[in-house]
Amino acid sequence: MEKGDEGMTQSINVVRLEGTLHFLKGEQVGENRCGRYFRFSVRHESTDYRGNERHDYILARAYDPELQDRLRQCGEGDRILLEGSVRSSVGSGEMYVLAEKLELP
């Protein structure tokens, strides 16, 4: 938690994901009151508490046109490092990462 100028506390909502780029099947471009966005996911591999390997596909959206162009230039399975914040869609409630920064390690 951080203290704001007025003395109120604000929560920090920052996510860093490293994994591989996965293009979703079907419609990759959407639009809502915030603008046009590009839908994709990050395949993140981890080990669960039982020691089993997991392959999680974490949904993400890029509203920034420059980020959208960079993602389109990448290939399926390219390693990426994504920074953003966790959001939920106002209409469906679908959780996703709002992409704010993309690096290609």
pLDDT reported for residue 9:
64
Task: Please report the sign of the dihedral spanned by the C-alpha atoms of residue 81, residue 21, residue 61, residue 71.
Answer: positive
pTM for the full predicted model: 0.81
Q: Above 70 in pLDDT, residue 73?
A: yes
Predicted confidence (pLDDT) at residue 25 exceeds the cutoff of 90: no
Superfamily designation of domain 15-103: Nucleic acid-binding proteins (2.40.50.140)
- DSSP secondary structure letters along 34-69: TEEEEEEEEEEEEE-TTS-EEEEEEEEEE-SHHHHH
Residue 51, φ and ψ in degrees, nearest 5: 90, 5
19 by DSSP, 3-state: which?
strand
Residue 7 reports pLDDT greater than 60: no
Cβ neighbours for 81, distance < 8 A, ≥ 6 positions apart: 16, 17, 18, 102, 103, 104, 105
Q: Supply the mean pLDDT for the chain.
A: 88
pLDDT band at 1 (very low <50, low <70, confident <90, very high): very low
